[in-house]
């Protein structure tokens, strides 16, 4: 810029083409600033008289120099520099905002990636379990069922007809040990017809009550489970928070709440702490809670239960069990469930962090879970209802992740095969009295095709369930003990 100023001064002095005796000097001044200096001899004067400095020519030159200095100042840092600096600041602010947004999106994508990796690991574990179960089933022998009637003896060609009002299958029922041959079918109670074609069979039928195929029912004792009724719907949840949940009635209620009081927890969310109370089933069906309690510590999944005036539940993201006293509205006791898996280590097949499932039956308080030592097999433990200490434990032969849910009736553990199939089964039973388990096949219905909670209530002798927003119950029948 100083070079431009000097050139302009040179032009203002009116130098002609021939006057090229101008000299340029470049150097630092006393403050260290670089300066360019042109020396141009006057074309008319041989010396500078004292009067020249105040003449009109010099004044005009000074005015021109001042104008050039103003222009140079504007070019170097004045009007041009101001707006440019503002634009640069705005650009920097925009870049910083874009960088912050990109970092936030990166954090969200990282969290989503970790969640998907956990889901993939869970699916891989389930695939391994299903593969093992398939191999086990394939290794089991298949026993052929003998036909009721040998194919070598076509009845339509025998020409048999009953005589004397005998029943059609009377000779078969009364002679279970007879051999299947042509001669044995020629019972004296039957006569041959003349026409060797199918004859019309006539018999007198007497209706008699048939014995129950499931065995006699015990309405008061504690026999094995022999059947489960159809699901009865009581209410549908109002919001997405109620897709999964748990509902309960205290089988041994104490003051200030009676046995008709119904309690409900919606378990969708990261901080599940609300416990809703209803005076009875009618108020539950209408959706009018009479009590809402805020639990001091959050609930993990759908494994809570009620017993003797206390809510028992698993604390979120831990193996800690809590006993919440309803009367004092405070935590009465807490205890870690030894070695229990939690927060997705050994859940039921539907997931939902259902690693620890608490329940009540005629014999007391139970916990259903698994451990690393058990290698994922179900462990069932009886708990002290006051201290939550483990009184006794049993390890079963069925893996927890292979079943949809479980409950205990009369000291026997039962598992549900599927949580989505509309017609599934109770597929396994383990008796803590004998320490033995066996496969069973009791029909069970998932009416709404996503059953996330199944618990037994010994006072009502019903199963309580939460099936895809719907609060339902099932009647149960027990055999003789």
**Once rounded to an integer, what is the mean pLDDT over residues 336-356?**
96
Q: Residue 343: is its pLDDT beyond 90? A: yes
Q: Residue 281: is its pLDDT beyond 60? A: yes
**Which of 447 and 90 is assigned the larger pLDDT?**
447
**Which of 27 and 10 is assigned the larger pLDDT?**
27
Asked if 400 and 369 count as a contact pair (C-beta separation under 8 A), the reply is: yes
Q: What residues are paired with 455 via a beta bridge?
A: 464
Contacts of 479 (CB under 8 A, 6+ apart): 214, 215, 216, 217, 218, 223, 224, 225, 226
3-class secondary structure, 139: helix
DSSP 479: B
What are the pLDDT digits (tens) for 231-277? 999 999 988 989 999 999 999 999 999 999 999 999 998 899 999 99
Question: pTM (2 decimals)?
Answer: 0.58
What are the pLDDT digits (tens) for 455-471? 999 999 999 999 999 99
Cβ neighbours, 10 Å, residue 178 = 13
| pLDDT of 156 | 41
Longest dimension (CA), the chain: 167
273 inside domain:
yes
* Helix residue ranges per DSSP H, 17-80: 56-77
Exposure letters 221-230 (e unless 16+ CB within 10 A, then b): ebbbbbbbee
Asked if 372 and 341 count as a contact pair (C-beta separation under 8 A), the reply is: yes
What are the pLDDT digits (tens) for 185-238? 333 333 334 444 433 333 344 444 444 444 555 555 789 999 999 999 999 998
Q: Residue 451: is its pLDDT beyond 90? A: yes
For 77, the token pair is: 């840092």
278 inside domain:
yes
Q: Residue 155: is its pLDDT beyond 50? A: no
- Tally of domains within the chain: 1
427 inside domain:
yes
340 inside domain:
yes
Q: Residue 434: is its pLDDT beyond 70? A: yes
CA gap 474, 298 in Å, rounded? 29
CA gap 271, 438 in Å, rounded? 39
Q: Find the domain containing 355 and state its range.
A: 233-478
| pLDDT of 108 | 75
295 inside domain:
yes
Between 68-72, 230-234, 237-241, 322-326, the lowest mean confidence (pLDDT) is in 68-72
| pLDDT of 118 | 80
Contacts of 153 (CB under 8 A, 6+ apart): 180, 181, 182, 185
Q: Residue 27: is its pLDDT beyond 70? A: yes
Q: Residue 152: is its pLDDT beyond 60? A: no
Q: Name the percent of the chain lying above pLDDT 70.
A: 68
For 90, 91, 93, 112, 154, the CA distances from 102, given in Å and listed in that order, are 18, 16, 14, 15, 81
196 inside domain:
no
C-alpha angle 427-337-324 in degrees, rounded to nearest 5: 100
Asked if 481 and 223 count as a contact pair (C-beta separation under 8 A), the reply is: yes
Q: Residue 326: is its pLDDT beyond 90? A: yes
CA gap 325, 296 in Å, rounded? 11
| pLDDT of 50 | 52
CA 370 to chain centroid, in Å, comes to: 18
Nearest Cα residue to 268 out of 246, 236, 284: 246
Cβ neighbours, 10 Å, residue 344 = 17
Give the sheet arrangement for strand 262-266, strand by strand. Answer: 245-249, 262-266, 274-278, 291-294
Mean pLDDT estimate for the chain: 79
Q: Name the percent of the chain lying above pLDDT 90.
A: 51
Contacts of 260 (CB under 8 A, 6+ apart): 249, 279, 280, 281
CA gap 383, 365 in Å, rounded? 5
CA gap 37, 10 in Å, rounded? 11
| Confidence grade of residue 419 (pLDDT, cut at 50, 70, 90) | very high
6 inside domain:
no
What are the pLDDT digits (tens) for 82-92? 555 566 666 67
Contacts of 121 (CB under 8 A, 6+ apart): none
| pLDDT of 111 | 76
Helix, strand, coil % in the chain, rounded to nearest 5: 25, 30, 45
First and final CA of the chain: distance in angstroms? 109
Provide the CATH number for the domain around residue 437.
2.40.128.630
| Confidence grade of residue 172 (pLDDT, cut at 50, 70, 90) | very low
Between 87-101, 305-319, 346-360, the lowest mean confidence (pLDDT) is in 87-101
């Amino acid at each position: 810029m100083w070079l431009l100023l000097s050139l302009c001064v040179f032009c203002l002095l009116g130098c002609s083409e021939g006057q090229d005796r101008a000299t340029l000097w470049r150097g630092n001044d006393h403050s260290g600033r670089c300066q360019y200096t042109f020396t141009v001899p006057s074309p008319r004067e041989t010396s500078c008289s004292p009067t020249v400095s105040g003449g009109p020519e010099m004044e005009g030159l000074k005015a021109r120099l001042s104008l050039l200095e103003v222009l140079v100042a504007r070019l170097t840092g004045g009007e041009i520099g101001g707006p440019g600096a503002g634009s640069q600041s705005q650009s920097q602010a925009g870049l910083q905002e874009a960088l912050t947004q990109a970092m936030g999106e990166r954090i969200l994508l990282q969290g989503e990636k970790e969640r998907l990796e956990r889901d993939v690991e869970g699916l891989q574990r389930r695939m391994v379990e299903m593969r093992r179960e398939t191999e086990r089933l394939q290794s089991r022998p298949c026993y052929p069922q003998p036909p009721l009637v040998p194919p070598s003896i076509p009845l339509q060609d025998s020409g048999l007809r009953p005589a004397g009002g005998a029943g059609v299958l009377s000779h078969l029922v009364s002679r279970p040990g007879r051999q299947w041959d042509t001669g044995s079918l020629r019972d004296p109670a039957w006569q041959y017809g003349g026409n060797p074609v199918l004859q019309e069979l006539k018999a007198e039928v007497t209706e008699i009550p048939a014995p129950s195929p499931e065995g006699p029912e015990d309405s008061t004792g504690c026999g094995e489970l022999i059947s489960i009724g159809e699901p009865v719907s009581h209410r549908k949840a109002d919001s997405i928070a109620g897709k999964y949940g748990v509902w309960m009635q205290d089988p041994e209620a104490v003051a200030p709440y009676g046995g008709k009081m119904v309690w409900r927890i919606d378990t969708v969310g990261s901080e599940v702490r609300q416990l809703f109370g209803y005076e009875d089933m009618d108020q539950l069906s209408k959706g009018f809670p009479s009590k809402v309690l805020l639990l001091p510590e959050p609930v993990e999944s759908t494994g809570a239960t009620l017993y003797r005036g206390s809510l028992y539940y698993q604390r979120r993201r831990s193996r800690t069990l809590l006993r919440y006293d309803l009367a004092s509205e405070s935590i009465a006791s807490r205890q870690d469930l030894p070695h229990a898996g939690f927060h997705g280590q050994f859940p039921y097949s539907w997931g939902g962090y259902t690693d620890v499932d608490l329940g009540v039956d005629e014999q007391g308080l139970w916990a259903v879970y698994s451990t690393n030592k058990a290698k994922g097999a179900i462990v069932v433990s009886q708990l002290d209802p006051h201290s939550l200490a483990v009184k006794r434990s049993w390890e079963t032969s069925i893996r927890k992740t292979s079943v949809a849910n479980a409950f205990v009736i009369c000291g026997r553990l039962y598992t549900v095969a599927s949580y989505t199939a509309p017609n599934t089964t109770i597929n396994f039973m383990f008796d803590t009295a004998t320490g033995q388990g066996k496969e069973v096949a009791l029909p069970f219905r998932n009416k709404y095709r996503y059953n996330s909670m199944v618990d037994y209530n010994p006072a009502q002798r019903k199963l309580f369930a939460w099936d895809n927003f719907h609060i339902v119950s099932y009647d149960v029948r027990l055999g003789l003990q």
